[in-house]
Amino acid sequence: MEKFTRVTGIAAPLMKANIDTDVIIPAKRLVGHQRGELGAFAFEAYRYRPDRTDNPDFVLNLARYRGAKILITGEHFGCGSSRESAVWALAGFGFRCVIAPSFGDIFTNNAFQNGMLLIRLPKEQVDRLAAEIESGSTPAMTVDLQSRTVTAPSGAETPFEIDAERRQALLEGRDEIGMTLARDADILAFQERDRAARPWIYQTGQTQVS
Amino acid sequence: MVLQERSLTLFDKVWSSHVVTGLAGGVSLLAIDRHLLHDLEGGASLRRIAERGLKVHNPELTFGVPDHAVATAPDRRADSTPNSSRLLRELKEGSEASEITYFDLGTEGQGIVHVIGPELGLSQPGMTIVCGDSHACTHGGLGALSFGIGATEIMHVLATQTLRQTKPKTMRIALEGKLAPGVAAKDVILATIGRIGTDAGNGHAVEFAGTTIRAMSVDQRLTVCNLSIELGAKIGMIAPDDTAFSYLAGRAYAPKGEMFDRACAHWRTLPSDDDARFDVEHTIDAATIAPQITWGTSPQDVIAVDQRIPDPTRETDPQRRQAMEAALAYMGLTPGEAIEGTPVDWVFVGSCTNGRLSDIREAARVVAGRKVAPNVRAWVVPGSESTQRAAEREGLDKIFLSAGFEWRKAGCSMCAGINGDTVAPGQRSVSTTNRNFVGRQGPNARTHLASPAMAAAAAIAGRIADARKLG
Ligand code: SF4
């Protein structure tokens, strides 16, 4: 996966709670499109008018926020469906980092698997960052994973916490499948013990269903 | 070091018995007992790991079924919808190449992945089950630790039969009391979400407990756990008991004979210890719950059918007020009006929430001897081929057909509209599904979530109606 160390860029505020993955990428785009094509459909329902022209009222369409790399948003971002394409759509749109008070649990795992940094901050801090982005002359910020800080346009630094294991994986751009397979002896030993304790789990020879 | 006897929760017991090894930073490598693949990501995931030169680690623990993209017309075939032919072929051929059991169209095993798991006895208490679909939490109704995963995690499970996971916190939701007549499991869970919010379970594994849950059938428990993710919790569980054991006995993939007894002895050790501690506890009086219907675009936007549509101007939190206003505008509803009587265009009975035989019976009870209102299109889409056949053996299909419903083939259908079964823009549907999100049932479709009886009542009345009044 792509490494994440430090990103400087436009930050865009989409201050709404419970933005679900159906809104981030609608289900009908899950078939017939490749991973790399999904950016065009991110936030489709909000982003376009019925004639497919840009909806001028949608915050991510404002000239000021074009090319945003950092998304600031409300509680429980990415709730709902497990579709990893929500992350691919956000990445395709240009985002590398999302800052919110909380995130959907499955979305969180999906984001970190794709080199996208999620930063959880208390709601007051998120609201403050959003307000600063909205009022500042250039809505740009820096997110530094090495030092675990967000630097607002004013230069004020906000520290954030992140799971040590996740941080390391992002910094290194790790391949987790390869790392887990390096422990295959442990997995096989576990299965052997477990097969003796719970044989029915592994006996999937079944009566035939027709 | 003397180890203290600790009181453990159901979740803790299942989690800790599946830890292969602890990794750095509080992450565990968790062994997976069942991996369920469906048509959206299944075939592509098999292809991707083959491209990396990797093999499926435990094909005997992996099962594939087409559901999301399949057509539901009575004469459907694998190539009935433009995308389904490719997705189904990829999953079928990938499964065959990897020696994974595949439940093909036209066989009893086919159906919505979360319906067939329990129905075939593939899902069992104390198992870890994963699926590339967030409603994998459904299988928790049998006491499994089951959750949805994304595409990269699917590949990880295929290649290693494990997942790297951070242990969530625990939450118990105790539902107490006897349900009032006409109140379904769906009403209980919708009311719970309305009460504690759609992000209440975030970061938690939820155990549903209490006298209401103990009195429920397995089908009802599956409905409750199905909406755990709509509470923000990717895991929802219910302690296995005799109700669960007798449900499983004799199912195709459940252990048999002496092995069943052995499994059962293990399953009996799983329920949370009496003095087990949870990080968060909620208690809900379920006896006072009335039939529910959603009014907005989040499952927490829910009221009893006899209540009025809420007024955003009474909301003090500005972000919440804006969200309510946007939801009401999208739904085309007026604050302060009664929700009962709102005209509807579509009724959908089906999905992994309410597509099981007992749900279809509930809807049939309301429909029997009546006619669908002329302004409504109404569908029943059974959750599985075997559910469909069982319902037909009882003659339920006739009840729906003679009322003017369409009786279709098993799949996800209009729940997410991926196969092209969608509600037209601006149309209003009462649906037994689990998500009323913006655009979920099609662009600008307006979805009201409700129980099977409430959906059936809406089809007959042509408007949102109180199923209890229809009897
Ligand atoms: S029925 Fe709906 S919620 Fe269930 S798996 Fe299918 S699309 Fe998902």
Question: For the segment A143-163, what is each residue's pLDDT rounded down to a tens digit?
Answer: 999 999 999 999 999 999 999
At residue A35 the predicted structure's pLDDT band, cuts being 50, 70 and 90, is confident
User: Which tokens hold the place of A24?
Assistant: 């981030």
Q: What is the overall mean pLDDT for chain A?
A: 93
pLDDT at B1: 43
Q: Do B26 and A165 touch (CB under 8 A)?
A: yes
Question: Ligand 1 pocket, B112 CB below 6 A?
Answer: yes
Closest by Cβ to B262, choosing from A27, A165, A200: A200
Alpha-carbon distances of A119 from A100, A122, B55, rounded to whole Å: 6, 10, 35
Question: Measured in Å, how far apart are chain B's first and last C-alpha atoms?
Answer: 63
Residues recorded for chain B: 471
Alpha-carbon distances of B367 from B91, B339, B362, B450, B471, rounded to whole Å: 37, 21, 9, 16, 10
Q: Do B160 and A180 touch (CB under 8 A)?
A: yes
Q: CB contact, 8 Å: B107 with chain A?
A: yes
Q: Domain residue spans in chain A?
A: 6-173
**What's the CATH superfamily of A6-173?**
Aconitase, domain 4 (3.20.19.10)
At residue A207 the predicted structure's pLDDT band, cuts being 50, 70 and 90, is low
Question: Ligand 1 pocket, B440 CB below 6 A?
Answer: no
d(CA A133, CA A62): 13
d(CA B49, CA B51): 5
What digits encode the pLDDT tens for the residues A62-108?
999 999 999 999 999 999 999 999 999 999 999 999 999 999 999 99
Mean pLDDT per block of 10 residues along chain B (471 residues) reads 70 98 91 97 95 96 97 90 86 97 96 98 98 98 98 97 97 98 98 97 97 98 98 98 98 96 98 97 98 98 98 92 96 98 98 98 98 98 98 98 98 93 96 96 96 98 96 62
Q: Which residues of A touch B168 (CB under 8 A)?
A: 105
Asked if B373 and B459 count as a contact pair (C-beta separation under 8 A), the reply is: yes
CA of B135 to the centre of ligand 1 (A): 7
d(CA A93, CA B264): 51
CA of B68 to the centre of ligand 1 (A): 7
Question: Ligand 1 pocket, B135 CB below 6 A?
Answer: yes
Q: CB contact, 8 Å: B82 with chain A?
A: yes
pLDDT at A206: 63
Q: Is B78 in a helix, a strand, or coil? A: coil
pLDDT at B155: 97
Q: Is B276 in a helix, a strand, or coil? A: coil
Closest by Cβ to B152, choosing from A79, A80, A114: A114
**Which residues pair with residue B235 across a beta bridge?**
B205
Asked if B225 and B193 count as a contact pair (C-beta separation under 8 A), the reply is: no
pLDDT at B161: 98
Using CA coordinates, name the residue in chain A closest to B69. A31
Q: How far is CA B226 from the centre of its chain?
A: 3
pLDDT at B20: 98
User: Which tokens hold the place of B69?
Assistant: 């993209």
pLDDT at A31 over 90: no
Q: What is the dihedral of CA B89, B91, B96, B99, to 10 degrees?
A: 180
Question: Ligand 1 pocket, B138 CB below 6 A?
Answer: no
For testing the chain A interface, which of B114, B164, B297, B325 should be mutated: the one with the most A CBs within 10 Å?
A: B164
Q: Which residues of A touch B320 (CB under 8 A)?
A: 17
Q: Do B161 and A210 touch (CB under 8 A)?
A: no
Domains of chain B with CATH codes: 2-167 (3.30.499.10), 292-470 (3.30.499.10)
User: Which tokens hold the place of B190?
Assistant: 């919708």
> From the alpha carbon of B138, which atom of ligand 1 is closest?
4
Q: CB contact, 8 Å: B92 with chain A?
A: no
Alpha-helical (H) ranges within A114-183 are: 123-135, 164-172, 176-181
Q: Which residues of A touch B69 (CB under 8 A)?
A: 31
SS (H, E, C) A79-116: ECCCCCHHHHHHHHHCCCEEEECCECHHHHHHHHHCCC
User: Which tokens hold the place of A62?
Assistant: 């404002």
SS (H, E, C) B180-231: CCCCCHHHHHHHHHHHHCCCCCCCEEEEEECHHHHCCCHHHHHHHHHCCHHH
Asked if A23 and A76 count as a contact pair (C-beta separation under 8 A), the reply is: no
Min Cα separation A191/chain B (Å): 8
pLDDT at B5: 58
Q: CB contact, 8 Å: B217 with chain A?
A: no
Closest by Cβ to B437, choosing from A20, A44, A176: A20
- Cβ under 8 Å to A: B residues 336-375: none
